[in-house]
Amino acid sequence: MNVSESIDWQHSTPSELFLHRFVAITKSGQTLDGYLSYFPQNGWWILQDADNLTTVIKPDANGNPTLNTELFRSINVLKETRWKKLH
């Protein structure tokens, strides 16, 4: 498996994106390279970077994953994961 291969994050569930590496570009042009953490909240959810610095992906009105465009202009979610998943 090529760990730098991208995944279709917009058609994935939040739990499928949990622990995947991402590279995002902020609106100011900085790069955030990290891993996604899944947080369910009051029947909803968010995906933050694993260091809990910011929300990276959040649900749209229909509950589908969407980039937090208040802070980011692009994202690439990779197949690489931080830890081995237990499935």
Q: Does residue 53 belong to any structural domain of this protein? A: yes
Q: Average pLDDT in the 55-60 region?
A: 96
Domain count, the chain: 1
Q: How many helices and strands in the chain, by DSSP H and E?
A: 1, 6
Q: Does residue 2 belong to any structural domain of this protein? A: no
- Beta pairing class for 20-26 and 31-41: antiparallel
Tell me, what CATH number does 52's domain have?
A: 2.30.30
pLDDT tens digits along 23-41:
999 999 999 999 999 999 8
| Residue located via tokens 């739990």 | 15
Q: Average pLDDT in the 59-66 region?
A: 93
Q: Residue 45 and residue 53: Cα distance in Å, rounded?
A: 16
87 pLDDT above the threshold of 60: no
Q: Does residue 39 belong to any structural domain of this protein? A: yes
76 pLDDT above the threshold of 60: yes
Residue 42 confidence class, pLDDT cut points 50, 70, 90: confident
Mean pLDDT (the chain) is 90
Find the domain containing 60 and state its range: 9-81
